[in-house]
Each structure stands twice: as C-alpha cells, then as structure tokens.
Chains A and B, each alone.
Chain A
Amino acid sequence: MRFNDAILGIVLIGFAALAAAGTLDFPRVPGQDYGSALFPRLLCAGFAIGGLMLILSGWRNRATQPLLDTDDWARSPAHLLTLALAVGGILFYILVSDWLGFIPTAFLVVFTLMLRLRGRWISSAVIAAAVTLAIHQIFYGLLLVPLPWGVLESVVY
C-alpha cells in the first residue's frame, strides 16, 4: 500500500504544525535565550520543509503515482486477515496477559497465528505449546522476568 508523496507531505506538514503548536507552552528558562522548545522547533521546520518537497515530488509524478496505490496485499482479504491476526495478537497480549497469565495468552497468540499460516491443528498446537513453555523458561526461569501467572496462579502455588 503506497500513498502518493503529496499525501504524505500533507500529513507531515499537519504533524509539524501540531508539534510546533505543542512547543508554545514549553517554559523558558529565565535569563537564557534557548530552552526546551528550540530543538523540537528546528525539527518541525525540517518536517515542514521535507513535507513541502514531498508535495512537490508527488505533484510532479502525479501521472504515474496514484493517490493511493493498493497493490496485491491491500486488496487480498487473506493477507489482510493474516496482518490483522499478527497485530491483533500483540494487542490481545497487551490487554489480557496480566489477568489471563503469560502461558495461556502466549499460547493462544502463537497458536492462532501458526494455524493461520500453516493450517494444521494438532502440530500447530503442539509446537505453540512447546514454544510458549521454552520462552517462559528462558525469561521467567533464567532471566527472572516476572511474567504473570494469571489464572494459573492458584494451580502453581
């Protein structure tokens, strides 16, 4: 999925304006001319200049570059579903891992994606379980990262 450079340029300039507006309430240090706003403002200026040049280049190439070029995957529901499962898996982990626990959450995320990519129920479940336990062992067992037990807490303790 490719946007025309001009669209990206407009987005950049909009962002630069927002970010520059954000610097207005950065405090000034008394007796000093340069404060926390100077560097971000320079970067915003950079964004704005870059955005303008992108708009120019997008306009120049408007004949060959459509506003939004959706190549193969953006129109393929199968690919979009796989993409959604990968992003959704991480979101799911963020939302539920604390109370569901690391092992069930990680197993579900890995199993779902593996099933989607390979299509084999039993071997995917076995591999996902092995991977989950191995990674749990590395981080929880060896590196002492407190991965949450969640619903398994009463089982373990």
Chain B
Amino acid sequence: MDPFLQALPLVFNLEVLGTMAIAAIFGLVVGSVPGLTATMATALLVPLTFFMDPVPAIASMVTATAMAIFAGDIPGALLRVPGTPASAAYASEAFAMTRKGLAERALGTSLVGSAIGGMFGTVVLVLSAPQLAEVALQFTQFEYFWLACLGLTCAVFVSTASPLKGAISLIIGLFIATVGIDITAGYPRYTLGIPDLLGGVAFIPAMIGMFAIAEILRNMVAAPSEAPPKLSRLMQLFSGLGGVFRRYWRGVVRGSVLGTAVGILPGAGGDIAAWVAYALSKKLSKEPEKFGTGHVEGIVDAGSANNAALSGAWVPALVFGIPGDSITAIVIGVLYVKGMNPGPTVFIHSPELIYGVFITFFLANVVLIPFGFAAIGLARHILRIPRGIIWPIVLLFSTVGAYAIDNSLFGVVIMLVMGILAFVMEENGFPVAPAILGLVLGPMLEGNFMTAMIKADGELLAFFERPIAAVLGVITLSVWFMPLVMKVWRSRSADAR
C-alpha cells in the first residue's frame, strides 16, 4: 500500500488533531509572552510528548513551534519587545508601523508571510528529504563522522559572535555526553560513583535546565520591564494585504528560499534567518531609505524567512539525524530517548511515519492562519499576564517535567545543575545552542569516530578514502583552518603595504 495513504489515518484522527490544537494554543501563548522562546516551548512540551506516540509527539512540537515563531511577532509589533528571538530582526520596523496606525497591516503581513514561508520550507523538505535519504543510505561511519563534524562546525561559526566561545560551548556539550557507560569498552566514565549517572546525563532534564531554568534565572536578575501599555482592538487584519503581497511577492520568495537554506544549515535557525533576510531585503530594495520607518517590505521577507527556517531545519534532522537548529536538536534527543533513531533507514522501514510528519507540517502551516488571527485578537489579554505569574509557573512546570521522565528526583538535580551552568555560560558570552547540539550528537560522533578508527586501524588517511567522505572531510578541514589562513594572509598583505 502507498505509504502516503497509510500515513493519512496516522494524522487524521482525534488524538493527533486534538493534540495539535492544544499545542497550537500553547505555542501561541508561549510565543507571544516576551522571554518565552519557541525553543523553550519545545523544551516544556517534551515531558508531555514523552508519553505520546511518535506522530502526535512530533506533530505537537511542529505545531507549537510554528505558532510560537509567528506569535513572537505580536508583542514585537505592539510593544517593540520581540516575543521570541526570531522576531527581533524586525520588531522595531513593525512597531514603527504600529505607531503609524498600521498594526493590523504589520501583523497580517507577518502572519501570511509566516504561513507561506513555512509552507515553502515544507515543500522543500518533502521533495528533498527522500532523495537525500537515498544518498545517505550509502554512508558509512566515515561519512557520518565528517557530516557530524561539519554540522557542529557550522553551529559554532554561524550561531555566535565569538567562534572561540562557541567552540568551547560545543566541547562542553560533547564532554557532558561522554558521562556514563561508554560504547567501546562498557566502562563507566565520569560517573563520580553516582549510579544514576551510569546511563549518562539524562538528556531531557538537561535540556529543560539549559533552556527553561537558565531563562528563569536570567529573568530573576533582569530589571523588571515596564507595564504593558493599553492596546486597542485589532480587527481589520486582512484588508490591504493583497496589495502588499502583489507588490512584494519577490520578497516572499526570497525570504522563503533564504530561510529554508539557513534552516538546513546545522545550528542556525529562525532568528538568524530573519536577520539575514531583513538585511538582504534592505540591500535589494528599491527604497532602502524607508527601512526602519515602518515600511512593510522587510517584514514580508523576514516574516517568511523565520518560519521557512523552521521547516528547513528538519531536512538534516530527518535525513541524517543531525539537527538543523536547537529545536530539532531537542526533538532528535527525544526520538533517541524513545528508541527511534532518526536517519535514512526510517525512510525505508517506516515511510508512513515520515509521510505522517510531512502532513503535520502542512497542517500546522494551514491552521497557522486561523489560530494566528485569533491570537492577534486575544493579544491584549495575553500581553497583560504579568511576569510575576509566568516565571513561577514555568519553574514548577520544568521541575515536574524533569521529574516525570524517570520519576526520579535526580532528573531535577540534573535540570538545576545544567540550568545554572547555562546561565553562567550565557552571562559570560558563551552561546548555549552549540552545547545542546554537542550533547545530542556526542554519542553519535564518538560512536562513528571510534568505529571508523578501529576499521581504519588508526590510519587517518582512511577517513578520506571514500569519495563523499573525502569531499566532506576537505570542506570541514578548510572551514576549521580558514580563520587561521585568513589571519596569516591579512597580516602578510598588511606587511606588504
């Protein structure tokens, strides 16, 4: 039977659709509260999805993040406070439109742009993932080793201003992943005599700590933000939108393509996609002088790009098991915990699962429009929830979530330790995303590396003997040594002058 037809009942049943509806509301609330990010929405959902089947679990995360990324635009436009980092690039622009009385236009544009961008990313995902999976089936440990290295390297270089601190953050994640019984000799490493650590640092509590607890701590020491101003009702959301999209259709295409591409790059997600798309839109615009004064053009590009990136990030995640951003990193971690290893074999053994996931992507982006519309209508109430109520709730929810995975208080201990670690890291300019990628990919990287080393009998040249491995290896090494070469070259040319 056609796997697509098999997939339909997997998605179109009460459990999955109901889960998606609840996840949508959850995502909209989390996204529109400043400080609560789409990544945090995923982190808080994980303890709940842990108890679900793979399709509803992934469906709820896909829906919640798509909603959260759009909803981040609402406080961005109304208060100039982006709800999630992915809206930061154009929050000032949207707020300038609000001040001109164009709040509806700004939000309507970003809502429709988000849906189109998300849909485009999904189409790319559906068309490319099965083809790439065919190629990935030929891969051995050598290719996977280089691919993981390349992905982690991208994460370090793309996600942060300081590649050095990004690299250290990555090594911290990889190191934490070595705790527990090791794969080659079965010896317990760095367990400090604690039996709970034999199985390694539990991933889900660690991730809740790094994304939720660290954020709570950061907010506890931040100056309280000013009280939200009075907001008027927003109703005329879709009037005049046709004109906007007829005029700036190129922007939608550009934003969607760019966003998907950035999303596919490991480590870079919606926030970077939005910044790049906004900058590019300004550069290519016929009227760049209008940018920043409440001009809709940049919102078209960037609003499409951040949702496109969300779908794009799933391409490497589903095909290679290498996450494209921190959200997919969390999802992959969860799939591993559930014993379902993402990778090309899933496409062969359970294609209906993959198609089910594809269908939920389309659904999530379709329902984005009505749900987003409702959220804009309710925004006045959501934005009035004070932080004094939100953060204690997030704290309790995280604590119970960390406990619920193994019904053990040790999970809460891990959550707290990792939360403090992430808080201290971010305070000192170390990005957290590379650490979480390292934590997820650590076992895979070490496993492939060790098997490859043993296969090659320590002959490092064997890492370059297979053609694809050689190409990936050369690219990786050149990215590693590029900064050094550039430095030498610059100082040479400076001397010559």
Binding site for B on A (CB under 8 A): 1-3, 8, 12, 19, 22-23, 26-29, 32-36, 38-40, 43, 46-47, 50, 53-54, 57, 72-74, 79-80, 82-83, 85-87, 89-91, 93-94, 97-98, 102, 106, 109-110, 113-114, 117-118, 127-128, 131-132, 135, 138-139, 143, 145-147
Binding site for A on B (CB under 8 A): 47-48, 51, 164, 167-168, 171, 174-175, 178, 182, 184-185, 187, 189-190, 213, 216-217, 220-223, 386-389, 391-393, 395-397, 399-400, 403-404, 407, 409, 412-413, 415-416, 420, 427-429, 446, 449-450, 453-454, 457-458
B415 to chain A, nearest CB (A): 8
Q: Is the Cβ of A109 less than 8 Å from the Cβ of B184? A: no
Q: Is the Cβ of A34 less than 8 Å from the Cβ of B389? A: no
**Contacts A87-B217, A89-B395 known; A127 to B389 CB distance under 8 Å?**
yes
6 interchain residue pairs of minimum CB distance:
A117-B388, A118-B388, A73-B221, A36-B182, A113-B392, A50-B168
**Contacts A19-B175, A19-B190, A50-B168 known; A79 to B220 CB distance under 8 Å?**
yes
* Complex Cα gap A132–B458 (Å): 56
Who on chain B is nearest to A89 by CB? B395
Main secondary structure of the interface of B (DSSP, over half): helix
* Complex Cα gap A4–B385 (Å): 38
Q: Is the Cβ of A36 less than 8 Å from the Cβ of B187? A: yes
**Using Cβ atoms and an 8 Å threshold, which residues of chain B touch A135?**
396-397, 400
Indicate the member of B182, B387, B393, B429 with the most A CB atoms within 10 Å: B393
**Using Cβ atoms and an 8 Å threshold, which residues of chain B touch A139?**
47, 400, 404
**Using Cβ atoms and an 8 Å threshold, which residues of chain A touch B222?**
73
Q: Is the Cβ of B178 less than 8 Å from the Cβ of A39? A: yes
* Complex Cα gap A56–B409 (Å): 41
B44 to chain A, nearest CB (A): 11
Q: Is the Cβ of A118 less than 8 Å from the Cβ of B389? A: yes
Q: Is the Cβ of B407 less than 8 Å from the Cβ of A146? A: yes
* Complex Cα gap A27–B185 (Å): 8
Main secondary structure of the interface of A (DSSP, over half): helix
**Using Cβ atoms and an 8 Å threshold, which residues of chain B touch A138?**
48
A53 to chain B, nearest CB (A): 6
Contact among A33, A89, A114 with B388 in the assembled complex (CB-CB below 8 Å): A114
Query: What are 25 A-B interface contacts by the 8 Å CB criterion?
Result: A2-B428, A28-B185, A29-B184, A33-B457, A36-B184, A40-B178, A40-B190, A46-B167, A50-B171, A72-B223, A74-B221, A79-B220, A86-B391, A90-B213, A94-B409, A98-B409, A102-B400, A114-B388, A117-B387, A117-B388, A131-B392, A135-B400, A139-B400, A145-B407, A147-B400
Q: Is the Cβ of B185 less than 8 Å from the Cβ of A110? A: no
**Using Cβ atoms and an 8 Å threshold, which residues of chain B touch A19?**
175, 190
**Contacts A27-B185, A34-B184, A38-B450 known; A131 to B175 CB distance under 8 Å?**
no
**Using Cβ atoms and an 8 Å threshold, which residues of chain A touch B48?**
138, 143
* Complex Cα gap A93–B416 (Å): 11
Q: Is the Cβ of A35 less than 8 Å from the Cβ of B184? A: yes
B392 to chain A, nearest CB (A): 4
Contact among A47, A74, A79, A89 with B168 in the assembled complex (CB-CB below 8 Å): A47
Contact among A26, A91, A118 with B187 in the assembled complex (CB-CB below 8 Å): A26
Q: Using A26-B187, A47-B168 as known contacts, list a sample of 20 further A-B pairs with CB atoms less than 8 Å apart, ordered by residue number in A.
A: A12-B168, A23-B189, A26-B189, A34-B184, A35-B185, A40-B178, A43-B175, A46-B167, A47-B171, A54-B164, A73-B221, A90-B416, A94-B412, A97-B409, A109-B399, A118-B386, A131-B396, A139-B400, A145-B403, A147-B400
**Using Cβ atoms and an 8 Å threshold, which residues of chain B touch A73?**
221-222
A77 to chain B, nearest CB (A): 12
* Complex Cα gap A136–B400 (Å): 9
* Complex Cα gap A87–B399 (Å): 11
Who on chain A is nearest to B190 by CB? A22
Q: Is the Cβ of B217 less than 8 Å from the Cβ of A93? A: no
**Using Cβ atoms and an 8 Å threshold, which residues of chain B touch A53?**
164
B357 to chain A, nearest CB (A): 23
Q: Is the Cβ of B404 less than 8 Å from the Cβ of A143? A: yes
B319 to chain A, nearest CB (A): 25
Q: Is the Cβ of A117 less than 8 Å from the Cβ of B178? A: no
Contact among B164, B407, B412, B454 with A34 in the assembled complex (CB-CB below 8 Å): B454
**Using Cβ atoms and an 8 Å threshold, which residues of chain A touch B389?**
114, 118, 127
Q: Is the Cβ of B450 less than 8 Å from the Cβ of A110? A: no
Q: Is the Cβ of A117 less than 8 Å from the Cβ of B184? A: no
Q: Is the Cβ of B427 less than 8 Å from the Cβ of A2? A: yes
Q: Is the Cβ of A43 less than 8 Å from the Cβ of B396? A: no
Q: Is the Cβ of B216 less than 8 Å from the Cβ of A86? A: yes
Q: Is the Cβ of A50 less than 8 Å from the Cβ of B187? A: no
Contact among B51, B185, B213, B392 with A114 in the assembled complex (CB-CB below 8 Å): B392
Contact among A33, A85, A109 with B458 in the assembled complex (CB-CB below 8 Å): A33
Q: Is the Cβ of B412 less than 8 Å from the Cβ of A93? A: yes
Q: Is the Cβ of A43 less than 8 Å from the Cβ of B184? A: no
* Complex Cα gap A73–B280 (Å): 37
